[in-house]
Structure 1
Amino acid sequence: MNMVFRWFGEGNDHVSLQDIRQIPGTKGIVWALHDIPAGEVWPPERIEEVKQQAEAAGLHIDVVESVNVHEDIKLGLPGREQYIENYKKTMKHLAAAGVKVICYNFMPVFDWLRTDLAREMEDGSTALFYEGSRIEDVDPFELAKTVAGNPDVTMPGWEPERLAHLTELFEAYKNVTEEDLWSNLAYFLDEIIPLAEELDIKMAIHPDDPPWSVFGLPRLITSKENVKRMLGLNDSPYNGLTLCSGSLGANPDNNIPDIIRSFSDRIHFAHIRNVKIFENGDFIETSHRTEDGSIDIYEVVKAYYDSGFTGYARPDHGRHIWNEKCRPGYGLYDRALGIMYLWGIWDALERQEEK
């Protein structure tokens, strides 16, 4: 297991590279050029700048999260041809810098969605919270304004150009069905996977979060059945998955250890986190510890271990603890604790095998 840690860049993250370097067993950063709008080419010099910063701290830049997919590609519009060509150019630039995995998603309009970015828990910490009943009453335009109006919060996947044209985007998706979205994903994969093979760079789609439709928008990567369908769209090993235990795990019908064992050879990147699911389907993100949530993180890690997983893994969203001021879900302290919990399980499994 190659442990990595998400980093949003100098001037955009209160967590420093030196902080990350001090987390035991952490070898690299998961990064992106967040200021570049979806669809534009990432300049080689900007990529090199991040590489030099990371390597100076003794860290690698093997994993990018995310190279976001332009909405024209998801919608299947004529403009997708140019945006796919731009995507390919970015892939080439990243491969030249040594990037091994590109995480991306195919969620319309929004990336991950929560109704409360700092819900207080019993111990006084706060965490990301999803309250289903509020989604039906929430105006997505007002929600977007909240994000767009806060310069201290750069939510991944909520690019300014998406927020500025929200009305047009919702109108564009009005008649787009789930099957339409599947067809457009297949087209995208057929275009980029041959290049991924040539560049030796793995593509790893992230599940939808939460794994069901929101605001009436279609969503695809929501279950074991749909993961199988996605991998079958292009059977190349370079067409793979970012397995997020928290995203798929928000639906208790998804058996995460079983999904890991079923598709272990196509999982290029692992997001490991826990969520506590309430009886009404609401959920809150907890510590990584199994007992604190609804996902058996021990069994999740064991599934990776038993499968001989040697890919990249990171702790995903964490709580906000010890009065840390941080971007929602991305504090240093709880994610560092999460890494140590994951290593503790992994080390114990290794010790058991030695006996």
Structure 2
Amino acid sequence: MIESWRWFGPLDRISISEIGQTGARGIVTSLHEVPYGEVWTREAIATRRAEIEAAPGGLHWAVVESVQVHDAIKKGDGPLDALYGAYRETIANLAAEGVRVICYNFMPILDWTRTRLDAALPTGGTALRFSAVEMAAFEVHMLGRDGAEADYPDAVLAQASDWAKQATEADRERLLSSIMAGLPGYYNRFDIKQLQDILEEWKGITEADVTANLKRFLSEVVPTAEEHGVRLCVHPDDPPRPLLGLPRIVSNATQIAELLGAVDSPANGLTLCSGSLGANPDNDVPAIARRFADRIHFAHLRNVTKEPDGSFQESAHLEGDTDMVALVKVLLDEEARRRAEGRADAEIPFRPDHGHELLSDIGAGTHPGYPMIGRLRGLAELRGVIAGLSHAG
């Protein structure tokens, strides 16, 4: 497996030379400064690639995360030919610079969503956390979204009401800021009124609509990916449940099967995110990986601990509810199968995802979920699992 590390380019407080000291060799990055829907020029891609390759440690640009899909495509809103054309041109430009794995997501408006970025750990340090109670308080009492009450159990709504009564202005600002933090590299951050306005644009758009829009997107861009030897890999929803009244369409094995089957091509693949899928109590993550192994082109390896009310918290990589050893075994078995076929792209790039803030991480101001020491701990643990399984044969 290709040990990789997410880097936010010039936006990142962790330098490319520091990443070289982790032992990872693949860089996972994006041109975050390019607005959604615009072409990534070959010149801009080459500049970023050269910056990566000039750093010590033998680094290379292994995966793009992400070439973001414009919300107009997700909504199926208005003339889209120019947006599809820009995406196809970006695919071709990336391939011309040797970057051939593209992770993307189809989540409306927000990417990953958490309600607290600094949940205290018993031994010190902090973790990302999703609280069903705080999310309900946000939707019902801060956002005032029509119909939000129907999305939460009565017990959660009662606790949310208590939270709203006791919350200070600082509590409310912290909650809004935490929810907005799941958009690294995207410059817009919405206040309550802006979020209400943008949600209004999504009224009446159903899960079936968004699924159809993703299938159309695939039909428009997968042929270009095939032509240039590029692997597209959709990232699952995080968390894998509807939020803010918005449909989620990549949350379980049934939905994944439908989307991969819509354009049945190796270029239409999956980013196996163990944390995103693992937050759904109905998902058996190693089983999902086994079922779709031949279409996994990239992996995010992290763990979460779930709670009965729908809350979850980021765990250490080898803790939490997903059997990480079993999951890594599935990926190694798939690599062995690909090597037996003689494939040059047999190795699956992976990265440690959403580490805890530990020691000097705290207060360092790195992107939420992306500290140095917490992810380095995760990488070391995963490296040990891979070595042990590989030695065992």
TM range (shorter): over 0.9
Say whether 1:352 aligns with 2:392: yes
Closer/same/farther in 2, CA of residues 61 and 74 from structure 1, 3 Å limit = same
**SS, match of residue 160 in structure 1:** coil
Q: Over aligned residues, Cα RMSD in angstroms?
A: 2.2
Equivalent-residue separation in structure 1 for 2:29 and 2:15 (angstroms): 13
One of 360, 378, 387 as aligned partner of 1:338: 378
Check the 8 A contact 1:38/1:159 in 2, yes or no: no
Amino acid of the structure 2 residue aligned with 1:122:
P
Amino acid of the structure 2 residue aligned with 1:54:
I
Q: Deviations over 1:302-352 (max 9, x none)?
A: 121222262111111101000311221000111111111111111111111
Say whether 1:313 aligns with 2:350: yes
Name the structure 1 match of 2:163: none
1:88 Cα deviation from its structure 2 partner: 1.2
Amino acid of the structure 2 residue aligned with 1:59:
L
Name the structure 2 match of 1:286: 315
Q: Could you list the runs of 4 or more consecutive aligned residues of structure 1 that deviate by over 3 angstroms after TM superposition?
A: 139-148, 161-168
Name the structure 2 match of 1:244: 273
Name the structure 2 match of 1:13: 12
Name the structure 1 match of 2:53: 55
One of 160, 174, 180 as aligned partner of 2:188: 160
Amino acid of the structure 2 residue aligned with 1:317:
H
1:143 Cα deviation from its structure 2 partner: 7.1
Check the 8 A contact 2:116/2:175 in 1, yes or no: no
Equivalent-residue separation in structure 2 for 1:314 and 1:332 (angstroms): 13
Specify the structure having the higher radius of gyration (Cα).
2
Q: Deviations over 1:212-268 (max 9, x none)?
A: 000110000000111111101110110000010000100121001101111111000
Say whether 1:207 aligns with 2:236: yes
Closer/same/farther in 2, CA of residues 338 and 73 from structure 1, 3 Å limit = same
Closer/same/farther in 2, CA of residues 162 and 264 from structure 1, 3 Å limit = farther
Equivalent-residue separation in structure 2 for 1:188 and 1:155 (angstroms): 22
Amino acid of the structure 2 residue aligned with 1:101:
V
Amino acid of the structure 2 residue aligned with 1:96:
A
Check the 8 A contact 2:111/2:182 in 1, yes or no: no
Name the structure 1 match of 2:106: 106
Q: Deviations over 1:85-138 (max 9, x none)?
A: 111111111111111111000011110000001111111110110001221221
How many pairs are equivalent?
347
301-310 or 80-89, which deviates more: 301-310
Equivalent-residue separation in structure 2 for 1:71 and 1:161 (angstroms): 15
Matches within 5 A, 1:217-232: 217-232=246-261
TM-score by structure 1 length?
0.92
Say whether 1:40 aligns with 2:46: no
Say whether 1:254 aligns with 2:253: no
| Structure 2 segments unaligned to the other structure (5+ residues) | 145-171, 337-346
Amino acid of the structure 2 residue aligned with 1:174:
K
| Structure 1 segments unaligned to the other structure (5+ residues) | none
Name the structure 1 match of 2:325: 298
Equivalent-residue separation in structure 2 for 1:47 and 1:230 (angstroms): 29
Name the structure 2 match of 1:3: 3
Matches within 5 A, 1:129-208: 129-138=129-138, 139=142, 146-147=176-177, 155-156=183-184, 158-160=186-188, 166-208=195-237
Q: Deviations over 1:259-310 (max 9, x none)?
A: 11111110000000011112322111121123xx121111111121222262
Equivalent-residue separation in structure 2 for 1:74 and 1:144 (angstroms): 29
Check the 8 A contact 1:51/1:60 in 2, yes or no: yes
Check the 8 A contact 1:65/1:104 in 2, yes or no: yes
Closer/same/farther in 2, CA of residues 140 and 191 from structure 1, 3 Å limit = farther
1:159 Cα deviation from its structure 2 partner: 4.2
TM-score by structure 2 length?
0.83
Closer/same/farther in 2, CA of residues 5 and 265 from structure 1, 3 Å limit = same
1:161 Cα deviation from its structure 2 partner: 7.9
Equivalent-residue separation in structure 1 for 2:173 and 2:47 (angstroms): 34
Name the structure 1 match of 2:343: none
Equivalent-residue separation in structure 2 for 1:145 and 1:276 (angstroms): 21
**SS, match of residue 12 in structure 2:** coil
